[in-house]
Copies of this chain bind each other. A is one copy, B any other.
Amino acid sequence: MLLIKNAKILTEKIVTGNILIEENKIIALGEVSDKSDIVIDAKGLAAIPGLFNAHTHAAMCLLRGYAEDMKLQDWLEKKIWPIEAKLDSEAVYWGTKLACIEMLKGGTTFFNDMYFFSPAVAKAASECGIRACISSAFFDFFNMDLLEENLKKVEREIKEIKSFKNIIPAIGPHAVYTVSLEGLRRSVEIAEKYNAIIHFHLAETEKEVVDFRKKTGKSIVKALDQIGFLNKRLIAAHSVWLEKEEIEILGKRNVSVAHCPASNMKLCVGKAIDFATMKNFGVNFCLGTDGAASNNSLDMFEEMKFAALLQKFYYNDPTRLKAEEVFKAATINAAKAFGVNAGEIASGKLADIVLIDLKKAQLNPDHSLIANLVYSANSGCVDTVIVDGKILVENGYFEGEEEIIERANEVAFRIVRD
């Protein structure tokens, strides 16, 4: 039993009280007894649900700050791709671990990843104790032989990913410009076979949308709908360049989107996701950081602020994407998308809890906890992080972080140098 005492608890109403945890679940809230093996005195701390990072490429931390302020094609062709070609399983493992401790120390208790060497990603995440959805990503470049080969790899990897504790498997067909419609159709079959998530990049740039229409005469969403690709398993990252009718279809098919505002701004996608229309059509709206090479941090507090401010600015409406809405995007909406029994602090939910240090200057005065979390907090405000009932971060410290940082730095400099 683990007892969190005297916390300011962010539930539907904000209450000050205790949280009792048994094994990996919250079993009581409020006036509960303090007979527990472990007691955390949370006076001066707020207890909030752990944050969900709904789209990232964790191991890209290795390339953080490696190439900046460049045109997209130059950046990819001259810098990112040549280095990624040198990645191996060990590099991805340490890069992912670095990302995991950055996320955990920043209050993120779940991440949705797409990258190479996915079993190494799953191993790293699982060892760090963070919850995650790990995709086995693939391209087929419209070559059916390559598709068959890659789907075999995907099935192999999904089985391996499934074996790790608290890791949800996903299939990751990259995008319509790298994967054939046949590849996407087959992805759905595989996802159903393994009860997996589908993790996909959708309509990130105008070029993607225009090129697809030139090639097929259709909008991406309509084409995907025709092959049955759109369903509740799908997490569509970015989803920027969509027409109203396409958003309506996403809503009808129970698709979740993962908005990545900082990355969209940094990579100049040219438009902001249309939150109001998505809300209107009931699209499940989630939030992600994207990879650290295009962000360059994995701080979901910062991402919430970017999301809210970008909506307001781009659509010239300060009432858009309110603090409560963006907080839900980073918690309960994503919990729903991935079928994780968390995202809020309530009895019966998984004990994925973050304690925020309310004594930080930037969180005072506390006229509104939710506004302070969204607009004023950052990763530096996190004191304690509990995932699956286990304390992983205490006083802002993750045990063993020094070694992870050191090893990740070694592989980062090795791949850049060699």
Chain A contact residues, CB within 8 Å of chain B: 61-66, 68-72, 75, 98, 101-102, 105-106, 262, 264-270, 292, 295-299, 302, 305-306, 308-310, 312-313, 316-320, 322-323, 359, 361-362, 364-368, 371-372, 375-376, 378-381, 401-402, 405, 408-409, 412-413, 416
Contact = CB atoms under 8 A, between A and B. Distances in A.
25 contacts: A61-B364, A65-B365, A65-B371, A65-B372, A69-B308, A69-B318, A69-B319, A71-B318, A75-B318, A98-B361, A102-B362, A264-B313, A266-B309, A266-B312, A296-B372, A302-B302, A306-B309, A310-B313, A359-B405, A361-B401, A364-B408, A364-B409, A365-B409, A366-B409, A367-B416
A69, A75, A368, A416: residue with the most chain B Cβ atoms closer than 10 Å:
A69
Contact of A364 (B70, B313, B405): B405
Nearest to A313: B265
Contacts of A70: 318-319
A342 B68 CA distance: 27
A302 B270 CA distance: 22
Contact of A405 (B63, B318, B361): B361
A364 B364 CA distance: 30
A368 B298 CA distance: 17
B101 A64 contact: no
Contacts of A361: 98, 101-102, 105, 401, 405
Given A372-B64, A379-B380, A69 B408 contact: no
Find the residue from A63, A309, A312, A313 having the highest chain B CB count within 10 A: A313
A258 to B, nearest CB: 18
Contacts of A322: 68-69
A298 B264 CA distance: 24
A412 B363 CA distance: 13
Contact of A296 (B71, B270, B316, B375): B375
Contacts of A316: 268, 270
B268 A302 contact: no
A65 B378 contact: no
Chain B CB within 10 Å, residue with most, of A318, A361, A408:
A361
B265 A362 contact: no
A72 B318 contact: yes
Contacts of A98: 361, 364
Contacts of A319: 69-71
Contact of A65 (B318, B375, B379): B375
A318 B75 CA distance: 10
A265 B302 contact: no
Contacts of A306: 306, 309
Contact of A63 (B61, B297, B302, B367): B367
